[in-house]
Amino acid sequence: MKRPTNQESGNIKKYIAEPGVKKKKLKKTALPDGEVRHWSYYEIFPIPYQSLDENGYLIDVNSVWIEKLGYQHDEVLGRWFGDFLIPEHAGYFEHLFFLFKAAGEIQETELEVLRKDGSIVVAIFNGRVEYDNGAKFKQAHCIFQDITAYKQAEKALRESERKYRNLFDNSIEGITVSRGSQTIDANQALLDIFGYATLEEFVNVPILDHLALESREAMEERLKGWSSNKFVPSRYECKVIRKNGTIRELEISAKEIVIDNLKYRQSTFRDITEHKQAEKALRESERKYRNLFDNSIEGIGTSKGNQVVDANQALLDIFGYATLEEFVNVPILDHLALESREAMEERLKEWDSNKSVLSRYECKVIRKNGTIRELEILGNELVIGNSKYWQSTFRDITDRKRAEMELRRSSRQLRSLAAHLQSVREEERSNIAREIHDELGQVLTVLKMDLSWLSKRVSLEENILSEKVESMLKLINTTIHTVKRISAELRPGLLDDLGLVAAIEWQIEEFQKRGEITFEVNLESDEIIVDKDRATTIFRIFQETLTNIARHANATMVGVSLKEEVGNLVLKVTDNGKGITEKQIYNPQSFGLIGIKERVYQWGGEVSISGIQYQGTTVLVSIPINRVPSIERLGLPAGG
């Protein structure tokens, strides 16, 4: 930078408004009055000293100046002092020095001086001009005071104030500064909590008037405590009134601050209304849960791993324990009967490894007195905090299981009895059919033969006797036909002599004689070989199906299929009638359908009966060909 001279000083006014020249109310350190002392006086001066010629060049500096700025004497003497200032100040140093010479002194002028290492020293300069005997400028003497630390502290204070205001104004929690019962300052978050638009509007209301009645007395006590320097809890809760009259619950944290020897109170407000409502709802939920847990008629237990951690009274009663402590001291597996432990161990492993666990299952448990009970258990995973538990509902099904077992046994017995009665009935029908056919048929045949013989010997002149014999022959023929029909209906001889297929074909022919129904028949006559009992079952089911069609279906076409499929004898009968309804299928008074089902079930078979309105009904029966019937399985007699 070019060093200016007095002649190049320029317009003085333009420098007056330049930054960098500041007045500070610091302790003055002035040069001695009167004549300038010997150099050694300035050398021992405790603050930096320098002397300048009429153009602002350094004549001399003391050791403190050298030490403060980090130069050597030979590096500074004879140099223009503006070279040691920051660029912003060096540009108008000539103006400052011109004012200095004109006024004869300079007081508390702030300049920023560059140290040799490039760092800056903020200094306050004071100086006087020394004149010779002719009152001519001789030299200027200056001293300066290092205020760098002060300036840094001042800057830090401003930054701290900025940060404080930023935190205060932008906090998501409400903040106030108050003195006594009057609010002095509040941030926007607090105004939002109380529902006010401006700070002025809010602070015009005394603190106590912001509080709900139930919180005012406690606040008055706190204010008295603060004013008398008594201990007051710094954190508390209270209810406040918003501008619109609604009530909010706040959590407040307050502390004392001192500004210019005056005590204030700074408070932080957090709206906990929703939190309080959630806590209340949680307590209510917990109360309901405990009420349900404790008073449930079903046992409820909570476990972690192999250990029960909680159980209600109903569960203690199921296991026969008097207290919870006594029950939970026994590991879960030790409560189980041996046949149920392995399955429970697998469930525990799957649960620990976060695999899917069957939520509903049954097991046998050991009560405290050693008796065995069967339980139905419904479990679900329960997460509390970061811990995983298993909560289960226990239902004692021992009596139900016994009843079910007894019911199944009774049902098996009834079904077997029904099958036995059916077998006895078939046997009786066969016997009756045989007796009618053999005994009555033979007698009628002999009578017919005798009447035929008699009719040949009655003369034509005996008209009355001849007509009587002829009438008796017709009656005997009708009776013989009726005997054959009754015998066939009781037990078709074709079923025993020619088999199931022939019997079904005969039954179709007989059915067609009674009405105008067309049959579509698919019978595997050459491939179906079944025993007498199965043939009887299928034939009777077919008869019952045709009877239902004749009574209820109003059908014009019937399809009949009989075949063997994968070891099963399958009969399928369809019609195009009005269709059976679900109500009719499950009607307990539909004894025909019940009979069909029972005949099938005794062989361990399956039956399906379905209908579509105005489209017809389908009966599908499947009986295993080689399975032993229920009568034979139970060892019951087949007849008599």
| DSSP code string of 5-55 | -GGG---SHHHHT-TT---------PPPSSS---HHHHHT-SS-EEEE-TT
- Taking a C-beta distance cutoff of 8 angstroms, is the pair 507, 547 a contact? no
As given in the structure block, the two tokens for residue 509 are 């022919």
Distance CA 242, CA 378 (A): 50
Across the strands, what pairs with 145? 124
Q: How many CB atoms lie within 10 A of CB 310?
A: 16
**Amino acid of residue 611:** G
Measured CA angle at 462 (ends 458, 464), to 5 deg: 110
Nearest to 245 by CA among 198, 290, 291, 195: 195
The residue assigned the tokens 């706190």 is: 222
% of the chain beyond a pLDDT of 70: 81
As given in the structure block, the two tokens for residue 16 are 């007056």
As given in the structure block, the two tokens for residue 261 are 């020897």
Q: How far is CA 506 from CA 62, 256, 454, 512, 576, in A?
A: 146, 113, 37, 10, 22
Q: How far is CA 507 from CA 409, 510, 521, 525, 560, in A?
A: 37, 5, 12, 15, 12
**Torsional sign, CA 155, 159, 162, 168:** negative
Residues of the chain with pLDDT under 50: 1-38, 630-640
As given in the structure block, the two tokens for residue 451 are 């009447």
Long-range pairs, 385-391, Cβ under 8 A, ≥24: 387/304, 388/304, 389/302, 389/303, 389/304, 389/309, 390/302, 390/303, 390/304, 390/351, 391/300, 391/301, 391/302, 391/303
Q: How far is CA 142 from CA 85, 127, 192, 449, 631, in A?
A: 15, 4, 58, 174, 134
Distance CA 120, CA 87 (A): 12
- pLDDT value of residue 29: 40
Q: How many CB atoms lie within 10 A of CB 360?
A: 11
Structural fold of domain 499-634: Heat Shock Protein 90 (3.30.565)
Strand ordering across the sheet containing 262-271:
182-186, 174-179, 262-271, 247-259, 235-241
Give all strands (DSSP E) within 488-636, no chain letters.
518-523, 557-565, 568-575, 606-612, 616-624
| DSSP three-state, residue 139 | strand
- Taking a C-beta distance cutoff of 8 angstroms, is the pair 139, 51 a contact? yes
Q: Which residues contact 381 (CB under 8 A, 6 or more apart)?
A: 351, 388, 389, 390, 391
As given in the structure block, the two tokens for residue 638 are 């087949």
Across the strands, what pairs with 337? none
Q: Does domain 6-153 have CATH number 1.10.287.3510?
A: no
Nearest to 309 by CA among 300, 321, 297: 300
Burial of 39 (0-12, 13-18, 19+ CB in 10 A): exposed
DSSP label at residue 335: G
Q: Does domain 171-276 have CATH number 3.30.450.20?
A: yes
Q: Which residues contact 154 (CB under 8 A, 6 or more apart)?
A: none
Q: How would you classify residue 261: left for phi > 0, otherwise alpha for psi between -120 and 50, otherwise beta?
A: left
Nearest to 223 by CA among 268, 186, 252, 265: 265
Across the strands, what pairs with 382? 389
Burial of 492 (0-12, 13-18, 19+ CB in 10 A): buried
Distance CA 214, CA 201 (A): 24
CATH classification number, 299-396, choose in 3.40.50.300, 3.90.1150.10, 3.40.190.10, 3.30.450.20:
3.30.450.20
- pLDDT value of residue 438: 59
- pLDDT value of residue 497: 65
**Amino acid of residue 527:** E
- pLDDT value of residue 435: 61
Q: Which residues contact 375 (CB under 8 A, 6 or more apart)?
A: 299, 318, 362, 363, 364, 365, 394, 395, 396, 397, 398
As given in the structure block, the two tokens for residue 617 are 């009904």
Q: Which residues contact 518 (CB under 8 A, 6 or more apart)?
A: 556, 557, 558
- Taking a C-beta distance cutoff of 8 angstroms, is the pair 506, 492 a contact? yes
Angle between helix 591-601 and helix 398-435 axes, rounded to 10 deg: 100
